[in-house]
Amino acid sequence: MTDATIVLETHDVTVHFAGRASLFGKPASTVKAVNGVDLAIAAGETVALVGESGCGKSTLSNAIVGLQKPTAGSIKIAGQEVNGASRRQLNAIRRRVQMIFQDPALSLDPRSTIGATIGEPLLVRGIARGAKLKRRVGELLTQVGLRPEHAERYPHQFSGGQRQRVVIARALALEPELVICDEPVSALDVSVRAQILNLLVALQKRTGVAYLFVSHDLSVVRHIADRVVVMYLGRIVEEAARETFFADPKHPYTRALMSAVPEANPAVQRAKQRYVLSGELPSPANIPSGCPFHTRCPLATDICLSERPELTPRPDGARVACHHA
């Protein structure tokens, strides 16, 4: 990566939420959702962000897109700092980053036509109106595999996959440099998921847009990602190119995630090495000392209890935060 190609750069991003004191006088606890995340994404690249529910994936995504103010750290979109930016600067920055949410049914206004929904960002920004707006909406619908005449229909007249295509068209209306895809296919039927993933890949090749693809489904990640980032309790514990990641996962948490993915071939499934984690995911309000993963890790030793491992580069280009990687 060079500075000219980086569309997203975060440094030491932290997002904490203050809790409430209990009725019995117990002091309020702080929920540490994201804890010092460094991440960079280049133009035309797809980076997958994976991990269990509650690891901080969506909170980090919301901070990047501006829906959640970070407690500390730096977030730059195309070289422009988000934190501390004026309203005018934020308006310019937000045009460069858009978001696709998990459930398309909840992302669309049931009272608005599809054309009005897709065209709204163009109207608000003063980019197009009248015949020009109608033409641009038709172009966007065509790009996502729908027809221009669909602009007059309402969300309930479409299937789940078609609604997600509409959401994608709206996200691309302002020609952003980065699109955050927050579990964009998890609410869809299995038969439709591949179609939406292939559409995202085709649109990326055409426009050069970068994706931050948030998911817990490693089979989906294998299909679409160029690079994979694994989060655990608000921190990145492993990062690697897709081929390296799936061929040689190094962190024990990553190995556990990989072993949980079912294989289509029963013989391969039976021969597969299993990494079973013990215990429950600790609360973000009470993160263990040392390595946060030591309470569930089969490789934990004394150093893991007292010293948090740093994200360290490996010879194959991966980065891993583990004393025993």
Q: Does residue 185 sit in the same domain as residue 202? A: yes
Domain count, the chain: 2
For residue 47, give the CATH number of its domain: 3.40.50.300
pLDDT in tens, the chain (325 residues): 666 689 999 999 999 998 766 656 566 688 999 999 999 999 999 999 999 888 999 999 999 988 899 999 999 999 899 888 888 888 888 889 999 988 888 999 999 999 999 999 999 998 999 999 999 999 999 999 999 999 999 999 999 999 999 999 999 999 999 999 999 998 888 889 999 999 999 999 999 999 999 998 898 999 999 999 999 999 999 999 999 999 999 999 999 898 877 666 676 666 666 777 777 788 898 999 999 999 999 889 999 999 999 999 999 999 999 999 8
For residue 104, is it within any domain?
no
- pLDDT of 76 reads 95
- The pair of structure tokens assigned to 62 is 């919301």
For residue 74, is it within any domain?
yes
- pLDDT of 191 reads 84
Instruction: Give the count of alpha carbons within 13 A of 12, CB side only.
Output: 3
Q: Which domain holds residue 131?
A: 111-173
For residue 216, is it within any domain?
yes
Q: Does residue 234 sit in the same domain as residue 301? A: yes
- pLDDT of 310 reads 94
Rounded to whole angstroms, the Cα distance separating 39 from 42 reads 10
- pLDDT of 265 reads 65
- The pair of structure tokens assigned to 175 is 């020609």
Record the pTM. Answer: 0.91
- pLDDT of 267 reads 66
Q: Does residue 187 sit in the same domain as residue 310? A: yes
- Which of 137, 152, 173 represents a domain boundary (last residue)? 173
Q: Does residue 126 sit in the same domain as residue 74? A: no
- Torsion angles phi and psi, residue 239, rounded to 5: -145, 130
- Which of 147, 173, 199 represents a domain boundary (last residue)? 173
8 A C-beta contact, residue 234 and residue 55: yes
- pLDDT of 188 reads 87
For residue 14, is it within any domain?
yes
Q: Does residue 215 sit in the same domain as residue 283? A: yes
What letter represents residue 238's amino acid?
Answer: E
Rounded to whole angstroms, the Cα distance separating 13 from 219 reads 28
Q: Does residue 246 sit in the same domain as residue 291? A: yes
Rounded to whole angstroms, the Cα distance separating 151 from 173 reads 14
For residue 101, is it within any domain?
no
Q: Does residue 188 sit in the same domain as residue 72? A: yes
- The pair of structure tokens assigned to 106 is 């909840």
Q: Does residue 86 sit in the same domain as residue 184? A: yes
Rounded to whole angstroms, the Cα distance separating 65 from 20 reads 27
Q: Does residue 223 sit in the same domain as residue 190? A: yes
For residue 103, is it within any domain?
no
Q: Does residue 117 sit in the same domain as residue 243? A: no
On the 0-12 / 13-18 / 19+ scale of CB atoms within 10 A, 173 is buried
For residue 105, is it within any domain?
no
For residue 325, is it within any domain?
no
- The pair of structure tokens assigned to 206 is 């055409």
- pLDDT of 271 reads 65
- Which of 158, 173, 188 represents a domain boundary (last residue)? 173
Q: Does residue 157 sit in the same domain as residue 185? A: no
Q: Does residue 293 sit in the same domain as residue 251? A: yes
CA distances from 255 to 47, 235, 237, 272, 309 (A): 19, 17, 12, 11, 17
On the 0-12 / 13-18 / 19+ scale of CB atoms within 10 A, 199 is middle
